[in-house]
Each structure stands twice: as C-alpha cells, then as structure tokens.
Amino acid sequence: MVKESDGSLFKKVSYILIFLFCLIAVPVSASNSLTSVELYTLGHKYEFNRDFDNALACYTKAIELDKNYINAYAGRARVYSWLQRYDLSLGDNSKCIELDPSNFGFYLNRGHNYMGLEEYQMAIADYSKSIELADTFFARKARGDAYIRNRQYELAMADFNRMARIWPRDSDVFLYRSQVYGLLGDYNNALEECKQGTSIYPENSILLFNLGQCYEFLGNKDMAVEYYRKALNKELTGRSHKKTAMVKNKINARIQGDWQSYSEWIYY
C-alpha cells in the first residue's frame, strides 16, 4: 500500500476546509458590498437552511440593487409562502408575471397564494393560465384541488382524469379521484380508487383513511375501523394541522364506537 505524503494529506484537508467555509453563509451585515446576484445566491443559502429572516433580507437587498431581478422576486415570494404571508408572496409573484408573462410557473405560484388566501376563483384563473402555457401534472392537480374547494366537483374530476393520462400511477391520481367520488357520495367508485391506490402505495395514510371512510359510508363498520386503525398507525400528515386533528378525532371516535360525530366525508 502506498503511504500518502504529509504534503498531499495537508492539501486534501485544506481543500475540504475551504469547501466547508464556502457553504457557510456570509452574515447579512457584511453583505453591503455584494452584487445583486451574490445577494440572491446568499439568500438562497439562507432559505435552504430555513433561516428565513436573513433570506428575506438578502432577497430584498438584491431587489433594491436591481428592480427587475426576477429571481430575487421569485425567491422572496417563495420565502413569504413558507411563512404563510400569502399577500406579500402574491405581490412578488405578480411582479414576476409582469417581468415574464410567458412563464407558466409564476402563474402556478400565484395561484398557490390565492389558495392560501382562500380566493379559489382567482386561484382557478391563474392555474388555468398556467395550463394554457404548459399543461402540467402539478397545475392540473392544483386546479382540481381549487375546484373541489369551490365545490365544482365535475370540473375537478376532469383535471384529475387528465393527471391520470400524464402520470397514471402517481398516488395523487388515486387519492384525488377517491376524494371527488367520496364528496359526490359515489362510495363504490371511491372504494375502487382507494384499492387501486393502496395496491401500489400500501403505506399511504390518506388512502387508508379514505378506505375507512368508504367502508363506513357503505355500512361496513368492521372494515372501516380496520382501515382507520391502519391510517392512525401511519404518519398522518396533511397540508392543514386543523384537518389532521379533525381526521384523528374522527378515527378515535370510530374506534371508541362513536358513529355520530364527524358524519360527513372529510376532504383531507
């Protein structure tokens, strides 16, 4: 075995230390001499490390240096969304659209802002524009979700069927179609969607929960409790902590023999 020389080892250690140093973000207080691009890059590092206050400071300084720096607006909009400050995120995404009106992603992002503000019709309009520019799986899913929240279930199903043609085996195809069937009271078709989904994704807690809901509404309490227990044993993580609490409360109620509370289909 060839022994590595001390000089060679020193060089390697030096390179590693330099690499690690480069990963450490420069304090914002020392960023006054940085260019807008450097500030954006620094902001992105802060954002990646979930240091949102410093990320916002860097993106804002980058914008002050270059009023048309679209990446900085997009970055700041993204951080505002993380912080659930959807009104501020919407303003930055609107600026991105002004600077690049042909970018489908900016309409998608602004649609998410409107969803956070519960302005579903405005969200649908932006998602529709995004689809007009580029018919993507994610835009169809987002618009379908907005249609559900706007109680336009048939239009939602049309989007989810389009999703199925783009990525037919994605878990969200089965999940969202089961949701629409459940909300429409078509529990047999909801059950089939859930069965197909869990045959591919047996650990999906929301599909398991929906299976429980299907069996409950079809009158099979034993099977309902079985799948509610399975869902509870998985990590129930949805977009809304309030909805997650409601789902867990419904499951615990059913396990304890309470079939009166939470009588409607829960869209989770």
Domain contains 14 = no
Clarify whether residues 95 and 114 are in a common domain: no
Clarify whether residues 161 and 206 are in a common domain: no
Check the CA dihedral 186-187-190-191 and report its sign. negative
Clarify whether residues 173 and 252 are in a common domain: yes
Q: What is the pLDDT of residues 185-205, one digit of tens each?
A: 999 999 999 999 999 999 999
At residue 103, φ and ψ (nearest 5 deg) are: -90, 110
Query: Contact at 8 Å (CB) between 57 and 38?
Result: no
Picking from 100, 131, 158, the residue at the C-terminal end of a domain is: 100
Q: Given this model, what pLDDT does residue 236 score?
A: 74
Question: What percentage of the chain exceeds 90 in pLDDT?
Answer: 82
Q: Given this model, what pLDDT does residue 31 score?
A: 58
| Domain containing residue 136: CATH number | 1.25.40.10
Domain contains 154 = yes
Q: Given this model, what pLDDT does residue 237 score?
A: 60
Quickly state the pLDDT bin for 240 (edges 50, 70, 90).
low
Q: Given this model, what pLDDT does residue 268 score?
A: 87
Mean pLDDT of 154-182: 97
**How far is the C-alpha of 159 from the C-alpha of 142, rounded, in Å?**
9
Picking from 83, 100, 117, the residue at the C-terminal end of a domain is: 100
CA-wise closest residue to 58 among 68, 45, 67, 48: 45
Residue 155 is part of which domain span? 102-166
Q: Given this model, what pLDDT does residue 235 score?
A: 75
Clarify whether residues 65 and 129 are in a common domain: no
CA-wise closest residue to 204 among 184, 183, 179: 179
**How far is the C-alpha of 195 from the C-alpha of 36, rounded, in Å?**
52
Picking from 112, 141, 166, the residue at the C-terminal end of a domain is: 166
pLDDT over 60 (residue 10): no
Domain count, the chain: 3
